[in-house]
Amino acid sequence: MALDLIRNFVGGEYLDGGSGFDNINPVDGTVVSSVMEADRGIVEKAVAAARKSLSGPWGRYTASQRAAIMRRIAERIEARSEDLLRAEIADTGKPEALARELDISRASLNFRAFADIIASSGADSFLTEFADGRRALNYALRKPLGVVAVVVPWNLPLLLLTWKVAPAIACGNAVVVKPSEETPSTATLLGEIMKEAGLPDGVYNVVHGFGENSAGEFLTKADGVDGITFTGESSTGSAIMRAAAPSVRPVSFELGGKNAALVFADADIEKAVNGLSRSIFTNTGQVCLCTERVYIQRPVFEEVVAGLVEKAKMLKLGRPTDPGTTTGPLISQKHRDKVLSYFRKAEDEGGTAVIGGMVPEMPAELANGSWIMPTLWTGLSHDSSPMREEVFGPVAGLVPFDSESEAVRLANDTRYGLAASVWTENLERGHRVGAQMNTGISWVNTWYLRDLRSPFGGSGLSGIGREGGKNSLHFYTEPTNICIKLSEEEAL
């Protein structure tokens, strides 16, 4: 189901009001829906509705009651998965199989995982014993932050939204979500699903619009927001940090990446090429974890390049529902202009596109889509802009190296620190090199394999903090330590 009119969702109701903007299908440039942009008043109403829910029954739910409602949300997501799938595809143009297997299935998994995590979480406690015999029991209660602003991007819209909303409500918060202006639909449908699951009104709210001088900025600056969790570009992270500064709000940021893959001569080359191809081209390269720099040990350089070119040739661009489509368009013409600017920079800075490097010829009915050819460059120096700046498209620079230490140095020579992958059949090397990566995650002989209990995030320009498992519980709660005197003697 693709919605024609996308409205803000506040206090359990869809609101009329706000001016409209078009939601464009990147496959063919047609208008999917009209979106009601929230003005400052609507954003303030959403924050007020969230705050009100905290002093209602929601504020008294136990962890196991919250876990139960989250499992119902997961069930309702599964029951409405076709609606969510159609909406996600219409907004993003991504292949149906990818949306089904990654985006929609992770949405329910996010709720199930954090239901389990909150249901089994306990309080940190310490039995304190002093040398003079005094004793005390310390235990830390974790209280919700309160109203959490959730600002998310367009590349994995429902996955990234629920990755934040699930732990936030598991911890007893209320949320106001600002989805990307490019992908407003699934966040909106989730409002209905939350009601169907019995989540009290006001715990989940959605405001639509853009960033600066629109819903994003209004929300991150609104009085009554107690914390901000954000996924998106590093430069937007800086702007949000400035918005959070005056009231010293906690922030959790998952930002951009310039992720490296290191392919050693002792790798299983066929498996490495398969994995690398997935890591470069999945979602048309629009995953923050995608590889954009591939360092290949010299003896296998030509073989890996040839293998990746063959893989790129096998990709099939097309409509999300066409059989065999592997690759959708970029999200917008604006984003394609950005990616194309890197095609020009690559040429100017000495690179050669061994495949791609241009806009593909598409059938007439898709000519207004944001199509781009999967592209691989050789000959780029490590210091060139396509090797240093995040492109966020189906592109990678392929560069040879000689020694392990050189590969580690090149991979770490970046201001980003999100993800890396290491391809080797040498177990010791896998552990050793993986541990030397200055990234939030290092995969060895795989890519984007996730355990939701493990820490996730990045350093440097790639983010602040970690979410996942108890890391999420730490961000979305404030501890209060209770200290109970157990002995007769008072301290001091």
Q: Which residues have a catalytic role annotated?
A: 254, 288
What single string gives the DSSP state of each residue in 23-43? EEPTTT--EEEEEEE--HHHH
Q: Does 227 bind ligand NAD (CB under 6 A)?
A: no
Q: Does 411 bind ligand 6OD (CB under 6 A)?
A: no
Work out what residue 210 binds among ligand NAD, ligand 6OD, none; the CB cut-off runs from 5 to 8 Å by kind: ligand NAD
Q: Does 289 bind ligand 6OD (CB under 6 A)?
A: yes
Contact (CB, 8 A) for 38 and 209 = yes
Residue 444, beta-bridge partner list: 422
Among candidates 471, 439, 488, 459, which has minimal Cα distance to 113?
A: 471
Q: Does 439 bind ligand 6OD (CB under 6 A)?
A: no
Give the CA distances from residue 54 to residues 34, 117, 145, 265, in Å, rounded to whole numbers and listed in that order. 32, 21, 10, 57
Find the part of the chain contacting ligand 6OD (CB under 6 A) among 204-212, 285-293, 339-347, 369-377.
285-293
Work out what residue 330 binds among ligand 6OD, ligand NAD, none; the CB cut-off runs from 5 to 8 Å by kind: none
Q: Does 154 bind ligand NAD (CB under 6 A)?
A: yes
Among candidates 127, 165, 183, which has minimal Cα distance to 484?
A: 127
- For residue 149, how far is the Cα from the chain centroid? 15
Tokens of 225: 């927001």
* Residues contacting 302, CB < 8 A, separation 6+: none
Which is nearer to ligand NAD, 276 or 391 (by Cβ)? Answer: 391
Give the CA distances from residue 457 to residues 143, 305, 418, 439, in Å, rounded to whole numbers and listed in that order. 23, 30, 6, 8
> Which one of 9, 114, 163, 301 is in contact with ligand 6OD (CB under 6 A)?
163
Work out what residue 392 binds among ligand NAD, ligand 6OD, none; the CB cut-off runs from 5 to 8 Å by kind: ligand NAD
Which is nearer to ligand NAD, 227 or 400 (by Cβ)? Answer: 227
> Which one of 70, 107, 280, 288 is in contact with ligand 6OD (CB under 6 A)?
288
What single string gives the DSSP state of each residue in 179-239? --TT--HHHHHHHHHHHHHTPPTTSEEE----STTSHHHHHHH-TT--EEEEES-HHHHHH
Among positions 423-482, residues that touch ligand NAD (CB under 6 A) are 458, 462-463
Alpha-carbon dihedral 68, 73, 74, 80, rounded to 10 degrees = 150
Q: Does 453 bind ligand 6OD (CB under 6 A)?
A: no
Tokens of 411: 């991979």
- Give least dist CB 327 to ligand 6OD, A: 16
Q: Does 288 bind ligand NAD (CB under 6 A)?
A: yes
* Closest residue to ligand 6OD using C-beta atoms: 288
By CB under 6 A, name the binding residues for ligand 6OD: 155-156, 160, 163, 254, 287-289, 450, 456
By CB under 6 A, name the binding residues for ligand NAD: 151-155, 160, 178, 180-181, 210-212, 216-217, 220, 231-233, 236, 239-240, 254-257, 288, 390, 392, 418, 458, 462-463
